[in-house]
Structure 1
């Protein structure tokens, strides 16, 4: 039908072809430049000549079973090929992420505090009471007769011992098993601990004054309830750092593969790159300009600038820890992000237990961590938008302990139990072996695409798989297309900068309406079906199963006590409220009214509104959303 319209112009002149204005969308699809008048569209010069020679110089017979390129080819005698052989419609693009890895809620130290520290789990507040009890490892100094969390007593310096007390016969044992009761003896107990004295001693040793709140954990998750030294938490607090469950300080960033870079892209000087082993560019020329293209080494990484600043703080934490706590010399002695270049880090995927060593060579303003495909694959990642954590190698060696990890299923995941110092391409996943390393794609490759060959049958393009077990598996990776910049003018996607979910969804709808290839109604239907309706139903169900929380101590109740208040005497509040249930209801109503999503979805949204009104009562008036004014 569209071809028939192109074959029927209003007027054909010497260097001009005039069409009715209704074929403008067809010309836009073809990418043909044209002028627009009041009622017509006009092709001029070279575009008019091409259209005339292909479509109008000789009569073209339209055969319904043939494609448009076949029809034009048969009519002109010129072989016209499709621009591509096949296309796949997919939803791609995931918002990048780069942020410090925090526990929920964030804490400064792995020390159990229970409900003593209030809502903020403040160790300082807990230490102000007359006596502090906690569930902790049974390690005691026999000389001072006081509990300890260290191998050596902080008072007298003698080695502390582990006490094993049978919970049945109360016998004190040397081993964690009672032969008399034939039971395993726990290595921890709920007992008094001199928290205030320990905090004062830690302050004096480190030379840092504790600030409120000094946050600990509700309870320890490891089998023996082994706590972390308070001194480490004090140093972290002074540097605005938090700790993860395994004792390390981490930063999360989205993965992105990279094989080449220019010094100008990463802000690293030529002199520094030479120190790191980069002597020449991809053409073998000596490295002298920041605009030369360089092949990145197998385990070098380029990290977000924000993560670099965070890791500088981590370096200061480690150096202070070495000097003040371990009485050793500083290791990093870095003052800024430039000093951090060349140091080693560990990349770790959440579902694995092996950290992969990498070397920092520069920074970008993006929220992604650039590394070679093999480096990401060594972490068992496909670089498809997932985020992994990075941590300093020294932090993992010094502060990580398997004893901090949970003994439950999955407790050993997302922890650097092993460290892989060298990445070997043949040990990476097969996905990392299936990308091309050539300077240009041969004609044979494009002919193979037209015949729709399987990728495994294409032999004209060299891939990493063909280089495995050879020296060139590590270097001489080439590329087919150059670029002038590593990032665009916008270093972050709009999704990650927009505030509320309503703003993000409104932007998605506006973009969908601008793109002719996207069916906006289908997008709206999918969002309502897969996101809005399940969210409203799930929140309504959760409301009926919710717990009640004390505003003072944070204690939660499955049911409201008969006294209508907490055992501490303070007020109880709901954990789920009406606004959180119907936060997307008004948006859903507006969408089903504006777009033709069908009677079923309209009826379902109306039914959900009726159910919410039955539970809470009908509102007298609804507050308008910003998106209602569009």
Structure 2
């Protein structure tokens, strides 16, 4: 019937167009012609309805219709609905490192070379850097630090090495309304670092102490150089707010066993875990305990890093602040019970927590309410933790960047007590029941709206206002270990992109519900092509950088070399880094900032996927066009390298 109607409609629309009718009139004529063919219905209405009902039942019930007819028992689908998923991002458990990495928040400009090494700045003795102007309240001298760094003068007028004035300084900027109030000053780096070394009581400086090129804070006040030296001794990177952090993927959990987190039950008993979730006294490593809302199970990969951080804090307290050590940790188990601050990016509020154990995975286990207090919902997010003493000692608002977003990802406030009524409602929808009633399962057979059956669920929201909002959570399925499974996903263990693509597409070939060609086309179209297109644009718009002084240009100078005024290294003002008024230019070689390899990195992988797994024609043509664009950009037809065999 539909085929006959389509034939008549095409003929009517063709005649209408030949008569010169418009689009709307032609469509109207075609519809009227198709409607002229009557629909008398099926020849056997009863049989047609029965066949349609049988087809619908098979689409929904499948083989269960026959099974129920052959058995007197009640049979239901074990999995009525199957949910597919994809990897949003690979797991992470690694230190937070700035780009480029630094140990100290002290500026040395270009005096430290390309790697910003403190030893290179010391070799120049006096350097010129932009720092905030401050005045000592004791000796009256200007010092950029919070405590005056000038040496104490003896009776003969000579400064005593290692003995600093130490007076508090006050800010007196001359550019009070400027975006950044710092001014270019001369700093005797050799004396400052030598005094710091003597006060710390160490024999020599670490091999590499990496500093900053410049400070982006408003007052441009640096931190004490001693902190950077001690961080370098313990191989710890610093973040822009002065703290040492470790990032981990968020993983929610409500229960654990002492065996799973590698901590003896006696230790946990002293931390408040006196009874298991059934109310029995804690006497065994195999008993299941309910996690306190503000306790944290750290990834084992962070154990050594946090231990080095604790030793750094103790050494800072003893050598710099002349106080007693706090952690006294010799092994990572000594950190169990100590407080940490957890902080999510794009927020400015940390949440107080406590280390209770270690998990063999690349994530941090915590209570769902705790993750919600950080404004996270555990959909692949990663957050940072820092030792609380580190944040209290080293964090300062004065060293935060003054540019847009500088106040974000900084512990400006600290939440000390978790309140379930103040977290996002998404965490209040967590199911905390021990089991589901039979009518719940039967209600799901009709696929109702979740709001229609939420009365049968035990949500956290229904517990607000009582102790049950934070304690007494249930679970329906137990496991042998919360971290059982691959410690790292294949995306991180496989080395090359070809190996990763082979792994993904080989898995697709084993799954009946996956079309490998569509998967390959989707990966090429959504990942490789946008990356190649963006890299081609970046290569055409890139800056050039001087290899000598580090200055970058948006446009290549006509001379083909750096045209910045040369900074001499002789005596007088030139030794301090001041450029001569009639001196020469830098004339350093210029280098590209985007390499050819960065543009071509996915071309071979893309061709491998297209040749071995196949893609649709449009995607193949688009990929070949972009690959030919890259070849025309980098290949020189005039210059061709020949081998000896070409002359035989």
Structure 2 match to 1:591:
609
Matched, 1:412 2:407: yes
Q: Pick the structure with greater CA Rg.
A: 2
Structure 1 residue 559, shift from structure 2 partner: 2.5
Q: Aligned with 1:298: secondary structure? A: coil
- Looking at structure 2, the residues matched to 452 and 161 of structure 1 have their Cα atoms a distance apart, in angstroms, of 69
Matched, 1:162 2:171: yes
Structure 1 residue 489, shift from structure 2 partner: 4.7
Relative to 1, partners in 2 of residues 1:438 and 1:184: Cα closer, same or farther, differing over 3 Å? closer
Relative to 1, partners in 2 of residues 1:324 and 1:614: Cα closer, same or farther, differing over 3 Å? same
Structure 1 residue 184, shift from structure 2 partner: 6.0
Alignment of 1:120-199 (within 5 A): 120-129=115-124, 131-141=126-136, 143=139, 145-154=141-150, 155-165=164-174, 176=176, 187-199=181-193
Q: Aligned with 2:356: secondary structure? A: strand
- Looking at structure 2, the residues matched to 369 and 430 of structure 1 have their Cα atoms a distance apart, in angstroms, of 22
Structure 1 match to 2:555:
559
Structure 1 match to 2:618:
600
Query: Paired residue for 2:244, among 241, 244, 249?
Result: 249
Deviation string, structure 1 residues 512-542 (Cα, Å, up to 9, x no partner)? 1122222211111111111101111111111
Structure 1: state its 5+ residue gaps: 1-59, 167-175, 177-182, 622-630
Structure 1 match to 2:520:
524
Contact 1:123 1:213 in 2 (8 A): yes
Matched, 1:200 2:194: yes
- Looking at structure 1, the residues matched to 547 and 146 of structure 2 have their Cα atoms a distance apart, in angstroms, of 35
Structure 1 match to 2:369:
374
Please say which of residues 553-562 and 377-386 is displaced more in the overlay: 553-562
Contact 1:163 1:187 in 2 (8 A): no
Deviation string, structure 1 residues 185-213 (Cα, Å, up to 9, x no partner)? 96421111122211111111112322343
Query: Paired residue for 1:513, among 495, 509, 512?
Result: 509
Relative to 1, partners in 2 of residues 1:119 and 1:153: Cα closer, same or farther, differing over 3 Å? closer
Matched, 1:91 2:100: no
Matched, 1:263 2:254: no
Structure 1 residue 119, shift from structure 2 partner: 0.7
Alignment of 1:475-624 (within 5 A): 475-566=471-562, 567=564, 568-617=586-635
Q: Aligned with 1:302: secondary structure? A: strand
Please say which of residues 546-555 and 354-363 is displaced more in the overlay: 546-555
Query: Paired residue for 2:430, among 435, 441, 445?
Result: 435
Report the TM-score, using the length of structure 2 for normalisation.
0.80
- Looking at structure 1, the residues matched to 315 and 212 of structure 2 have their Cα atoms a distance apart, in angstroms, of 23
Q: Aligned with 1:440: secondary structure? A: coil
Structure 1 residue 553, shift from structure 2 partner: 3.6
Matched, 1:100 2:118: no
Structure 2: state its 5+ residue gaps: 1-50, 151-163, 565-585, 642-648
- Looking at structure 2, the residues matched to 449 and 185 of structure 1 have their Cα atoms a distance apart, in angstroms, of 61
Q: Aligned with 1:385: secondary structure? A: coil
Query: Paired residue for 1:64, among 40, 55, 60?
Result: 55
* Alignment coverage as a number of residue pairs: 547
Structure 1 residue 480, shift from structure 2 partner: 0.4
Alignment of 1:383-422 (within 5 A): 383-422=378-417
Contact 2:134 2:173 in 1 (8 A): no
- Looking at structure 1, the residues matched to 533 and 120 of structure 2 have their Cα atoms a distance apart, in angstroms, of 40
Deviation string, structure 1 residues 434-480 (Cα, Å, up to 9, x no partner)? 12222211111111211212222222221211111112112111100
Contact 2:520 2:609 in 1 (8 A): yes
Structure 1 residue 487, shift from structure 2 partner: 2.0
Contact 1:255 1:368 in 2 (8 A): yes
Contact 1:309 1:337 in 2 (8 A): yes
Deviation string, structure 1 residues 261-297 (Cα, Å, up to 9, x no partner)? 0111111011101100111111222111111111111
Contact 2:68 2:75 in 1 (8 A): no
Contact 1:165 1:185 in 2 (8 A): no
Please say which of residues 251-260 and 105-114 is displaced more in the overlay: 105-114
Deviation string, structure 1 residues 201-248 (Cα, Å, up to 9, x no partner)? 111111232234321111111111111100000100001011100000
Please say which of residues 567-576 and 121-130 is displaced more in the overlay: 567-576
Deviation string, structure 1 residues 119-139 (Cα, Å, up to 9, x no partner)? 101122123225300010101
Report the TM-score, using the length of structure 1 for normalisation.
0.82
Q: Aligned with 1:357: secondary structure? A: strand
- Looking at structure 1, the residues matched to 548 and 497 of structure 2 have their Cα atoms a distance apart, in angstroms, of 31
Structure 1 match to 2:314:
319
- Looking at structure 1, the residues matched to 130 and 66 of structure 2 have their Cα atoms a distance apart, in angstroms, of 82
Q: Aligned with 1:164: secondary structure? A: coil
- Looking at structure 1, the residues matched to 430 and 340 of structure 2 have their Cα atoms a distance apart, in angstroms, of 26
Please say which of residues 569-578 and 503-512 is displaced more in the overlay: 569-578
- Looking at structure 2, the residues matched to 557 and 185 of structure 1 have their Cα atoms a distance apart, in angstroms, of 24
Structure 2 match to 1:454:
449
Contact 1:521 1:597 in 2 (8 A): yes
